[in-house]
């Protein structure tokens, strides 16, 4: 059987799920941000401007980007939501990205908690991810508080460039080991003060290029995250996983604890892994090419593949 995002009969769409404009603290106007991503050949982006009560860096409304949509490119209504309670943040703020928000989504206030904010955004139809866990040292206790989110941002390009703290894989693995079913995103978090665009994205298999189509596909986990490497096909038959990729130097299958299987070489484009004795309820796949560009599959849960 083919594993998502393959075998669904859908087109694959490339997009950024975390970015900013002059609606909050970005350098470029919304129109210019959209043009940047159109020029990169993306199919969609978002304007996840900060939604919070501090007007020094945030707005109090979700940006309406509908007039910027084109036949072959759309902008997802989104926001980076904040609330108090984060330990290792100079402002004590959580950073939570919500894609597919209604335009009338109410600005959080000083009393809302992170779990409540996540639940409210999901109830409004949004796909919710935990932004840049490494950047502000998310603890395992904090991760469990917000484990109701849909995804973990495992790569944040702006944080890689600005602070060398752009990973989220440790928190993602911790949640998976705790039995939480989350998906992965790679994003830019573009503000355009740095060359922080076009560095991390998702590839989504969706029934159509629309807000509803993309959000439904993201919530279903029908996507993978990338900084430049790509999956071409994923299949599992009789406990054997077959991975097909663009040319890479390593393909690693990771599971619970420190379980891993790996294939190394030069310009590998295919590998097979026998998972019949892989004692894990889940596995995920990581690619790395000769230039250090990577891709991450979403976690797959063995029980749902039988």
Position 303 scores a pLDDT of 84
The model carries a pTM of 0.97
Position 251 scores a pLDDT of 98
Q: What is the pLDDT of residues 195-217, one digit of tens each?
A: 999 999 999 999 999 999 999 99
Give the pair of three-digit tokens for residue 16: 């950024």
Tokens 């129109």 -> residue: 31
- Average pLDDT per block of 10 residues along the chain, 306 residues long: 97 98 98 98 98 97 96 97 97 98 98 98 98 98 98 98 98 98 98 98 98 98 98 96 98 98 97 96 98 98 85
3-state secondary structure of 200: coil
**Alpha-carbon gap, residue 192 to 36, rounded angstroms:** 10
Position 304 scores a pLDDT of 85
Helix (H) or strand (E) holding 67: none
**Alpha-carbon gap, residue 41 to 100, rounded angstroms:** 21
Instruction: Give the DSSP per-residue string, 146-206.
Output: TTTSSEEEEEEHHHHHHHS--B-HHHHHHHHHTT---EEEEE--B-SSSS-SSS-EEEEEE
CA dist 66 to 47, 84, 97, Å? 11, 31, 19
Helix (H) or strand (E) holding 40: none
184: Cα separation from own chain's centroid: 5
Position 20 scores a pLDDT of 98
All domains of the chain, ordered by start, with CATH?
Answer: 11-226 (3.20.20.140), 231-305 (2.60.40)
3-state secondary structure of 141: helix
Position 134 scores a pLDDT of 98
By CB atoms closer than 10 A (0-12, 13-18, 19+), residue 75 is buried
């Amino acid at each position: 059987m083919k594993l998502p995002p393959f075998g669904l009969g859908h087109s694959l769409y490339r997009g950024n799920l975390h970015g900013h404009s002059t609606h909050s603290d970005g350098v470029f106007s919304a129109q210019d941000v959209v043009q940047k991503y159109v020029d990169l050949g993306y199919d969609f982006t978002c304007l996840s401007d900060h939604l919070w009560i501090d007007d020094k860096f945030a707005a109090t409304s979700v940006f309406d980007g509908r007039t910027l949509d084109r036949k072959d490119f759309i902008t997802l209504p989104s926001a980076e939501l904040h609330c108090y309670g984060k330990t290792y943040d100079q402002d004590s703020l959580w950073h939570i990205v919500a894609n597919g928000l209604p335009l009338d989504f109410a600005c959080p206030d000083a009393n809302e908690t992170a779990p409540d904010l996540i639940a409210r955004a999901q109830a409004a139809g949004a796909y919710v991810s935990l932004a840049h866990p490494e950047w502000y040292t998310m603890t395992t206790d904090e991760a469990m508080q917000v484990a109701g989110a849909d995804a973990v941002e495992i790569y944040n390009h702006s944080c890689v460039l600005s602070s060398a703290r752009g990973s989220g894989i440790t928190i993602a693995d911790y949640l998976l080991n705790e039995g939480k079913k989350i998906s992965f995103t790679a994003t830019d978090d573009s503000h355009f003060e740095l060359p922080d665009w076009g560095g991390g994205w998702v590839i989504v298999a969706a029934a159509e290029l629309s807000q509803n189509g993309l959000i439904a596909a993201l919530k279903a986990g029908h996507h993978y995250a990338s900084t430049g490497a790509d999956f071409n096909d994923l299949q599992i038959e009789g406990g054997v996983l077959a991975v097909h990729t663009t040319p890479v130097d390593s393909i690693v299958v990771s599971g619970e604890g420190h379980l891993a299987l790996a294939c190394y070489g030069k310009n590998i484009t295919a590998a097979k892994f026998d998972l019949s004795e892989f004692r894990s309820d889940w596995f995920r796949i990581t690619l790395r090419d000769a230039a250090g560009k990577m891709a991450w599959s979403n976690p797959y849960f063995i029980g749902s593949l039988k």
